[in-house]
Amino acid sequence: MSWKVTNNERSQDQLLVNESLFALGNGFLGVRGNVEEGYGEGMISIRGTYINAYHDETPIEYGEKLHAFPETQQKLVNGIDAQTIYISVNGERFSMSAGTIHSFERTLHMDKGQLIRNVDWESPSGIRMKLMFSRFVSMTTKELFMQQVEIEPEEEADIVITAEVNGSVTNFSDPGDPRVASGHAERLHVTDCRAEGRSLLVTDETYETKLEMHVHSMSEVSAPADRTTEIKDGRAAEHYSLKTGERIVFTRWNVFTDTYRHGESLQERAENIIRKCGSFDEEAAKQQAYLTRFWEEAGLKIEGDDSLQQGLRFHLYHLLQSAGKDGVSNIPAKGLSGEGYEGHYFWDTEIYMLPFFQMTQPEIALQLIKYRYSLLGAAKDRAREVGHEKGALFPWRTITGGECSAFFPAGTAQYHISADIAYSFIQYYLVTGDISFVDEYMLEVLTEVSRLWMDMGHYKGGTFRIDDVTGPDEYTCIVNNNYYTNVMARHSLQWAVKSWELIGGDAATAWKEKLQLEEGELAAWQEAADRMYLPYNEEHGIHAQDDTFLQKKVWDLENTPDEKFPLLLNYHPLTLYRYQVCKQADTVLGHFLLEEGVDEEVMRRSYDYYEKVTTHDSSLSYCIFSMMAARLGDTEKAYDYFIKTARLDIDNTHKNTKDGLHLANMGGTWLALVYGFAGLRVDENGLRFRPVLPKAWESMAFRIRYQGRFLEVELGQDQITYRLLDGEDLSIDHFETSVTVQAGKEVHASYQT
């Protein structure tokens, strides 16, 4: 069962949630899990097809627009809809809300990468037929979305199959929820719509960005049928009519191309791609082979809890489906499963999702990093716009590099994103050991990020301070010396200096000239790092979230009614800012990422303190609390938080899964397993593990790649096994001792009591 996710509920609410849960994608193309024939009258559906980074721009309307507020916002566009297939029997159209459903099942198969819906249906006038709808978005031909319907009538009947490509689509909007875009729903228009030979062809263009998107759709029926076509209102349709009492199979190939990836010849490119596609079975076999490899590489196993195993697989599956793999796109906060957060990329990628890719799919990780690197120019421009003479300020949310946040206190003010990006580059280097990466990408990014800190920070009382920023916790905004920001800034400054040392020689000389490194710049970064101010509160014995957090009144969470959560939808931001109340992990996250030099007791007290004032209104919070509980030895608490991450979307606990999945939380579940329970940390000394196993599990295992090695780690009841599947001998730290594993061999180690 853990390879499958099934949900047969058909209430209005669950239908919308299922559209997200059953979304299919490959990082380029995403298709929500809408049903082919649509729902009955009066039902709401968020029907969506998205191409990663395919966007339009809309003006941001401010009541009062101040200097350097972004003028436009990018928005992922709901693109051409090629999902629709209608089936009529003796003139009655199949629908889940007409006639009688004798049985129904809808299942996502994560081992073969297909969504399958089986229905045993009886039409209102009593004709019964079995239908099986299968679909997948290909992992091997990124432009391809395949559909197949098997139709088995019980008696001879007139059957009409209609396949449609609809170019007249709009985005979804909900003015009542700031997390779903409001207004500006119509973002593209049809420029070409026709039937030609065996194909339906539709091309659309966005209004402002003038980006084109094209669909080339072809289909076939397994029995002789009359085919007619129809073009109307931006829709191209084909109808197949036949009389049969036998099982017939309808197969459909939809190929999507866009300006970004296919340039100006997007129609020609689509035609060439579709010509090379194999049969449904051939393409499905390639899909399965791709996924078999993916699962082998992740090597994920939890013995003793099938539903968690399922939840975990579901998360890794969606991570794979959502990650841009072409260097011009990234991972939207909701993946390609919905329009929440408008398809924007946030720090979610670097801190929550990249580790999974770095350690299991390094090629995809490199593409994600290259995408960020490609924004460096825009980040430098943005820094100037905001008033910095030097450095790069990465946008809080964006698609192509422009800042898209209209609310600067919880947007642009989150300067930590620049440090998070630096952190991810450093981690990539540590995991791969690739010095050419430092030369090609890391040195430049870290240099520009360090220049930003130098430009905005200042010395006071002998310490280096960073004022007026917002940390990860969005319920506390525009503060001085946010602990998380300062500790992350210190790390990026230290590593900027190290990067210059690492590349040295001629490469450093060339970079010096290119980046116009000034005399004394490196020394200044080192000094700022050494003297970075990290607020500490003696009374509580903890690091303060910022200079004033601990002076505020504590929010009475216990007596806040359930319906008031998430607080952001029920209280004015200023009310929230005036209290000690956190949306998500902030200081605790700082301790998780960078614990060096922090006393374990301080981390423990911080954990206990901040846990009491955290609402976890952000889905990015639980996994951090899970990992830190594991780190501090509270395995049961770690487990409780872990459960909350593992089923957040499947059980719709945040109540907004309909707008799309919570991708950062999905990455966070893997983190909680590998960095939490197995206690992995990667630093200059190599890999370190501090494993603990929750009582509820018999064992758990995963695989990671590290500097050319392929390592399997298994946490059993009594012992831990490190197995080197490939690569040169590797020494790792297991708690405080060093163990060496050799290729093809395993080493056993014990838990710490």
First to last CA, the chain: 35
Q: Which stretch binds ligand BGC (CB under 6 A): 86-94, 346-354, 422-430, 731-739?
A: 346-354
User: 């299942």: which residue's tokens?
Assistant: 107
Residue 347 counted as an annotated binding residue: yes
Does 469 engage in binding with ligand BGC (CB under 6 A)? no
Query: Least Å distance between CB 620 and ligand BGC?
Result: 5
- Select from 240, 280, 347, 642 the one that contacts ligand BGC (CB under 6 A): 347
Residues 686 and 731: beta-carbon distance below 8 Å: yes
Is 64 annotated in the active site?
A: no
Cβ-based nearer residue to ligand BGC, 341 or 639: 341
- Restricted to residues 644-673, the positions that interact with ligand BGC (CB under 6 A) are 664
Q: Which stretch binds ligand BGC (CB under 6 A): 339-347, 460-468, 514-522, 701-709?
A: 339-347
Strands (E), 110-187: 114-122, 128-137, 144-153, 157-166
String of contacts with ligand BGC for each residue 190-219, x by CB under 6 A: ------------------------------
* Three-state secondary structure call for residue 446: helix
Q: Tell me the C-alpha to C-alpha distance, in Å, between residue 157 and each of 27, 238, 250, 583, 698.
A: 41, 20, 16, 59, 55
Does 57 engage in binding with ligand BGC (CB under 6 A)? no
Q: How many residues bind ligand BGC (CB under 6 A)?
A: 12
Does 408 engage in binding with ligand BGC (CB under 6 A)? no
Does 333 engage in binding with ligand BGC (CB under 6 A)? yes
Query: Least Å distance between CB 346 and ligand BGC?
Result: 4
Residue 381 counted as an annotated binding residue: no
Residues 662 and 649: beta-carbon distance below 8 Å: yes
Distance CA 422, CA 444 (A): 10
Cβ-based nearer residue to ligand BGC, 341 or 706: 341
String of contacts with ligand BGC for each residue 285-324, x by CB under 6 A: ----------------------------------------
Structure tokens belonging to residue 678:
């197995």
Does 343 engage in binding with ligand BGC (CB under 6 A)? no
Cβ neighbours of 139 (radius 10 Å): 22
Residue 615 burial by Cβ neighbours in a 10 Å radius (0-12, 13-18, 19+): buried
Residue 75 counted as an annotated binding residue: no
Cβ neighbours of 12 (radius 10 Å): 11
Q: Which stretch binds ligand BGC (CB under 6 A): 30-38, 67-75, 345-353, 589-597?
A: 345-353
Residue 611 burial by Cβ neighbours in a 10 Å radius (0-12, 13-18, 19+): middle
Residues 139 and 122: beta-carbon distance below 8 Å: no
Q: Tell me the C-alpha to C-alpha distance, in Å, between residue 721 and each of 672, 681, 718, 739.
A: 19, 17, 10, 11
Strands (E), 583-736: 681-683, 686-689, 699-706, 709-715, 720-726, 730-734
Residues 593 and 495: beta-carbon distance below 8 Å: no
Residue 258 counted as an annotated binding residue: no
- Restricted to residues 602-621, the positions that interact with ligand BGC (CB under 6 A) are 618, 620
String of contacts with ligand BGC for each residue 88-127, x by CB under 6 A: ----------------------------------------
- Select from 94, 240, 314, 341 the one that contacts ligand BGC (CB under 6 A): 341
- Select from 457, 472, 535, 691 the one that contacts ligand BGC (CB under 6 A): 472
Q: Which stretch binds ligand BGC (CB under 6 A): 63-71, 344-352, 492-500, 696-704?
A: 344-352
* Three-state secondary structure call for residue 753: coil
Catalytic position from the list 37, 143, 205, 474: 474
Does 474 engage in binding with ligand BGC (CB under 6 A)? yes
Cβ-based nearer residue to ligand BGC, 81 or 348: 348
In sequence order, what DSSP letters do the residues of 646-683 get, joined into one string? HTTTTTTTTS-GGG---HHHHHHHHHIIIIIIS--EEE
Distance CA 516, CA 453 (A): 17
* CA contacts within 13 A on the Cβ side of 403: 29
Query: Least Å distance between CB 15 and ligand BGC?
Result: 24
Query: Least Å distance between CB 284 and ligand BGC?
Result: 33
Q: Which stretch binds ligand BGC (CB under 6 A): 36-44, 135-143, 343-351, 451-459?
A: 343-351
Cβ-based nearer residue to ligand BGC, 135 or 315: 315
In sequence order, what DSSP letters do the residues of 55-87 get, joined into one string? EEEEE---SS--TT--SEEEEEPP--B---EEE
The stretches of 388-442 forming alpha helices (DSSP H) are 416-432, 435-437
Q: Which stretch binds ligand BGC (CB under 6 A): 305-313, 342-350, 688-696, 730-738?
A: 342-350
Structure tokens belonging to residue 717:
């009841």
Query: Least Å distance between CB 618 and ligand BGC?
Result: 4
Does 583 engage in binding with ligand BGC (CB under 6 A)? yes
Query: Least Å distance between CB 595 and ligand BGC?
Result: 21
What does the binding site for ligand BGC look like in residue numbers (CB under 6 A)? 333, 341, 346-348, 472, 474, 583-584, 618, 620, 664
Which residues are annotated as part of the binding site? 347-348, 583-584
Which residues are annotated as part of the binding site for substrate? 347-348, 583-584
Q: Among all residues, which ones are annotated catalytic?
A: 474
